[in-house]
Structure 1
Amino acid sequence: MVVYSLLLALGLVLSAPWWLWRMATSGRYRAGLAGRLGIVPPSLRQAVKGKQVIWFHAVSVGEVVAASRLIAQLQEAFPRWVMVVSTTTMTGQKIARERLGKAPVFYLPLDFAWAVRAYLRVLQPRLMVLMESELWPRLLVECERAAVPVAVVNARISDRSFPRYMRLRRLWRPLLRKVTIFLAQGQETASRLVAIGAPTERVRVAGNLKYHNGTPDMGASSITTMLQGLVSDRKLVVAGSTLPGEEEMLLEAWPGVVAQVPEAVLLIAPRHPERFAEVMRMVDGSGLRSYRATEMQQEKPEEITAGSVVLLDTVGDLATVYGLACVAFLGGSLVAKGGHNPLEAALFGVPVVMGGSYENFRAVVDGMRAAEAIRIVTREQLGDALVELLRDGQEMGARGRTEYRKQSGAVGRTVTVLLDLLEVMD
């Protein structure tokens, strides 16, 4: 751990000029700086004073949403306990504050002993719950030192990261033995965890928390409600979590789609909020009629022109906006970034289109492909696939929803294990 800490400190020093520049130019990088350095916010101290605590860590939006489902059920079991949530990103913070109500939310401290210990001293958690693949070495070491059990839930090791873990498995093996229980999304991840050093008896398959019964429990946002009234007589394509390069592909294909389905409307939701302005300029430059969701909220247009493009320039609304779609395109898949989660659209019975890069969600996509519930396309095939599914995509959408329901139940299984773990630790 000494070498790890020295390398982390060296990296921090060498990157300091870049961080200082980013902090000077963007509030995103200034947010929570004191907390990251181990200065526990006074509000957090007050919230946990004299209380039993469970600490959840969720890196960003998707993990926060999954964690919120566990928190809701654990809060019912322990109404007097405090569930605290740390995140890494600003968008994760925003969604956590919106979804979790009174639950204290803060930034994860840097992975230095002094910073992590400061939080453990104040929180004294009964349990640490890490979402997906948030395996911070110093955090694991300090939790063991403080006798805090650690559960890694919705555990996932992607195709891209597995070779890196394998190369370093001699270093990972002692760290993974500090985790009390791993609850994997699927058998593939469970096998990979064992391969890199997790004790076999501590690894279980609980399923994917993002397969969740029903529709999103966040309620329809004002943006979603507004759009619902405007697209009722349109055929909406929602392109969610798009990354650089994909917007150009969508805009390139769109005139051909509109030529065959004149009532179609394209909604683009970039993955990263800092790209909203860039993507809006791109849409405006395409010559297509364009709208910006936040401006529409203020201007209250009576309709959306057929064939136009809408930019969803908000955070946290995409999950419910998928419910308005006739077809969904999942971003990060036509560029080599591993794809994004198709389940958010599948739960609404919306047919899903993705590119060939989906290794981040391979098990999910493979299951949907086997059920003929998703369409994998190249850039050249994108437009034709959208047209085909806009005209006749209901059966594929229904198969996607059926596949989604088959896989649900992970929340209940995960909560049961966590409750058993807390009982054992009493």
Structure 2
Amino acid sequence: MNRTPPPRLLPSVTTPLLTLYSAALVLALAATAPWWLRELRPAGKYREGFAERLGRIPRRRLHAPAAGEVTLWIHAVSVGEVLAAVPLVAALRSALPHARCYVSTTTRTGQQIARARFGADSVFYYPADFAFAVRAWLRFLRPSLVVLVESEFWPRFLIEAARTGVPVAVINARISDRSWPRYQRLAALWRPLLGTLSLVLAQSDRDAQRLRALGAPAASAIGNLKYDLPPPLPTPLLDQLRQAIQAGAPVLVCGSTLAGEEALLLPLLPEHTVTLLAPRHPERFDEVAALLQASGRPWSPLSLWRRDPQPIAPGTLLLLDSVGELAPLYALAQVAIVGGGFLHAGGHNPLEPASLGKPVVIGTGYANFLEIVTTLRAADAIRIAGLPEIQQTIAHLLADPAQAAALGERARAVCAASSGATSRVLSALLPLLQPQPALGTGA
């Protein structure tokens, strides 16, 4: 059975609004040129993958699809989306053993995790939203299906995919309270663009309702893929730390902290604990190291410690200055603190420590993970604390191990009970995989 082609784009989008959007994008790049030049220096975080973002195919590294091969393009913006995609990619590879899955990311940390999980020959940087860059990747990959993880909508990309007849599915979709007013103001733009989508699977009923209001065809709630990521397995570093930390020393793991949070949290954390800090962004490792040096407490970067492991006494600060190693280290924690919400930056995913049965504390700014936090709160499986309460909240959990353990077990139970979205997404995606029509070049 042939797949029904996507709806035609309205002229109002393909002409004046699209022209205005493209012009605004060019002007924005011109206005920010000094910043981009700085970031493109050898040490700049955007230097890596810059050519790929502009449509250059790294053929010596990226495995080219064979003629007639079924190819799937899965776009996962950063670390959270990459991890959410891991069970789905495994399920797709199992269901379609002769197909090839390619994964794109936007951030450098996401790229590093994706290469480690999926292999460097199938991972690349997502193109900038210019026609020439998007078309170059569509021609190279010849995708049978594009899957966007969460609400990563770029107008030019959606238009070019529709023009070439490639079905685009959005999974794990969400629209946060913070983003919703902006989408509503541009509803005239989004309605025809989202109308080109072949499938929209949302995290919750509220997300589905918002997407339908914006023009997404029959958006439906199917659950959150992030519950399906299995608990992280032990690693050699975890085993080394377990052996080195003094018996009975309480351990705090502060993961995914953002700029400014470490300076606010450190004075509030008990000094008798071993505290492991894991900044969200690797370009901040030196900045956080300087902060720990100035704290007056004994400290060490783990990259240095692991070369010559020494006993770790209570009161020690440890800096996780590597990418992709945080999740298993939550197993050390008597209390896990997940950053991103103490300065109201939207928060980060608390499910990694929750899946390990750890008591989790987050800040009050968790808008980006509202569905997950609401589910955990309903089961009394998480603690939410502003900076004035964080000290007391941690002290109570450390002083009452039974209460902390019960909190962690409730969190683990929520993760288990909420799983299953991957199989539902897979069942919805497979019918879209029909023979790929010939690609056009567009106007």
> 1:212, CA displacement in angstroms?
1.6
User: Does structure 2 retain, via aligned residues, the 8 Å contact 1:53–1:127?
Assistant: yes
- Aligned partners of 1:318 and 1:418: how far apart in 2? 31
Query: 2:366 is aligned with what amino acid?
Result: Y
Query: 1:84 is aligned with what amino acid?
Result: Y
**Is 1:41–2:58 an aligned residue pair?**
yes
User: Does structure 1 retain, via aligned residues, the 8 Å contact 2:246–2:313?
Assistant: no
Give the corresponding residue for 2:8: none
Give the corresponding residue for 1:26: 43
> 1:371, CA displacement in angstroms?
0.9
> Structure 1's 232 and 155: CA in aligned 2 closer, same or farther, altered over 3 A?
farther
With structure 2 as the length reference, what TM-score do the two structures score?
0.90
Structure 1: runs of 5+ lacking an equivalent: none
> 1:232, CA displacement in angstroms?
7.0
Q: State which of 359, 367, 372 in structure 2 corresponds to 1:364.
A: 372
Give the corresponding residue for 1:244: 259
Question: What is the DSSP-based 3-state SS (H/G/I as helix, E as strand, rest coil) of the residue aligned with 2:102?
Answer: strand
> 1:82, CA displacement in angstroms?
1.1
> How do 1:89-100 and structure 2 match up within 5 A?
89-100=107-118
> Structure 1's 424 and 415: CA in aligned 2 closer, same or farther, altered over 3 A?
farther
> How do 1:251-290 and structure 2 match up within 5 A?
251-254=266-269, 257-258=270-271, 262=272, 264-290=273-299
Question: What is the DSSP-based 3-state SS (H/G/I as helix, E as strand, rest coil) of the residue aligned with 2:101?
Answer: strand
Query: 2:324 is aligned with what amino acid?
Result: G
- Aligned partners of 1:248 and 1:130: how far apart in 2? 36
> 1:417, CA displacement in angstroms?
1.1
> 1:33, CA displacement in angstroms?
1.7
Query: 2:326 is aligned with what amino acid?
Result: L
Per-residue CA deviation, residues 233-289 of structure 1 (Å, 9 max, x unaligned), is 2321111111122212221112xx24xxx4x21111111111111111111211111
- Aligned partners of 1:338 and 1:102: how far apart in 2? 30
> 1:177, CA displacement in angstroms?
0.5
Structure 2: runs of 5+ lacking an equivalent: 1-17, 438-443
User: Does structure 1 retain, via aligned residues, the 8 Å contact 2:71–2:101?
Assistant: yes
User: Does structure 1 retain, via aligned residues, the 8 Å contact 2:166–2:436?
Assistant: no
- Aligned partners of 2:332 and 2:121: how far apart in 1? 30
- Aligned partners of 1:370 and 1:52: how far apart in 2? 43
**Is 1:118–2:129 an aligned residue pair?**
no
- Aligned partners of 2:314 and 2:62: how far apart in 1? 53
Question: What is the DSSP-based 3-state SS (H/G/I as helix, E as strand, rest coil) of the residue aligned with 1:43?
Answer: coil
Query: 1:208 is aligned with what amino acid?
Result: N
- Aligned partners of 2:230 and 2:93: how far apart in 1? 20
Give the corresponding residue for 1:7: 24
Query: 2:414 is aligned with what amino acid?
Result: E
> How do 1:186-201 and structure 2 match up within 5 A?
186-199=204-217, 201=218
Give the corresponding residue for 1:224: 238
**Is 1:206–2:222 an aligned residue pair?**
yes
> Structure 1's 213 and 71: CA in aligned 2 closer, same or farther, altered over 3 A?
closer
> 1:13, CA displacement in angstroms?
2.1
Tell me the number of residue pairs that the alignment of Structure 1 and Structure 2 aligns. Answer: 415
> 1:421, CA displacement in angstroms?
2.4
**Is 1:399–2:434 an aligned residue pair?**
no
**Is 1:164–2:164 an aligned residue pair?**
no
Give the corresponding residue for 2:320: 312
Q: Which has the higher helix share?
A: 1
> Structure 1's 364 and 232: CA in aligned 2 closer, same or farther, altered over 3 A?
farther
**Is 1:104–2:122 an aligned residue pair?**
yes
User: Does structure 2 retain, via aligned residues, the 8 Å contact 1:224–1:317?
Assistant: no
**Is 1:84–2:102 an aligned residue pair?**
yes
> Structure 1's 390 and 290: CA in aligned 2 closer, same or farther, altered over 3 A?
same
User: Does structure 1 retain, via aligned residues, the 8 Å contact 2:55–2:132?
Assistant: yes
- Aligned partners of 1:160 and 1:110: how far apart in 2? 24
Bigger CA drift: 141-150 or 386-395? Answer: 386-395
Q: State which of 67, 76, 79 in structure 2 corresponds to 1:61.
A: 79
**Is 1:417–2:421 an aligned residue pair?**
no
Query: 2:388 is aligned with what amino acid?
Result: E
> 1:423, CA displacement in angstroms?
5.5
> How do 1:127-166 and structure 2 match up within 5 A?
127-166=145-184
Q: What's the % identity of the aligned pairs?
A: 47
Query: 1:297 is aligned with what amino acid?
Result: R
- Aligned partners of 1:152 and 1:2: how far apart in 2? 25
> 1:109, CA displacement in angstroms?
1.2
With structure 1 as the length reference, what TM-score do the two structures score?
0.93
> 1:147, CA displacement in angstroms?
0.6
> Structure 1's 214 and 29: CA in aligned 2 closer, same or farther, altered over 3 A?
closer
